[in-house]
Amino acid sequence: MDLNKKIEDISQAEYKLLLIVGQPGSGKSKIIRQYSEETGIPILDLDKIFYHTPSEKLLPEMKNFLTTYHQKVLLLDNKKLLYAKNSQIDLLAFLKELSKDIPVVATWNGKIEDGQLFHFRNDSSEDLIYSTDNNDFKYILC
């Protein structure tokens, strides 16, 4: 799989979002780490950067952060902060909003089945489910 090609393919889209989708332990983090090592682009750990930021202020804070971010791609791997039980953030909407400004490559703990994107949340009995029909993100399956 050529991650560079996938990123190039999304670079002109309205939403420049590429999800690396898979079950826990499927190799999602390995793919994003390998790309990071090859390109020198760091993987952002939102849990560390925005630990004390209330969920309702996270998107404006992240947009502000991006004004000083000088990489060609935003790599996101650890996003527990975004899907905590008390979070008011719609994870896919958040990533799509960020991807209007910069290509975003993010790991996604879940699966795609019957035209639906499932997001598995460790601390919740309910999975989040999104349609893949609107074609506003691309994905790689692990």
Cβ atoms of 23 and 141 within 8 Å: the answer is no
Please give the share of the chain, as a percent, with pLDDT higher than 70. Answer: 87
d(CA 57, CA 24): 29
* Between residues 121 and 5, the one the model is more confident about: 5
CB-based contacts of 113, cutoff 8 Å, min separation 6: none
According to DSSP, the residues that pair with 20 across neighbouring strands are: 107, 140
29-53: pLDDT as tens digits: 999 999 999 999 999 887 777 777 7
70-107: pLDDT as tens digits: 999 999 986 665 655 456 677 888 899 999 999 999 99
**Average pLDDT of the chain, as a whole number:** 86
Radius of gyration of the chain from Cα atoms? 14
Cβ atoms of 16 and 99 within 8 Å: the answer is yes
49-70: pLDDT as tens digits: 777 777 778 888 888 888 999 9
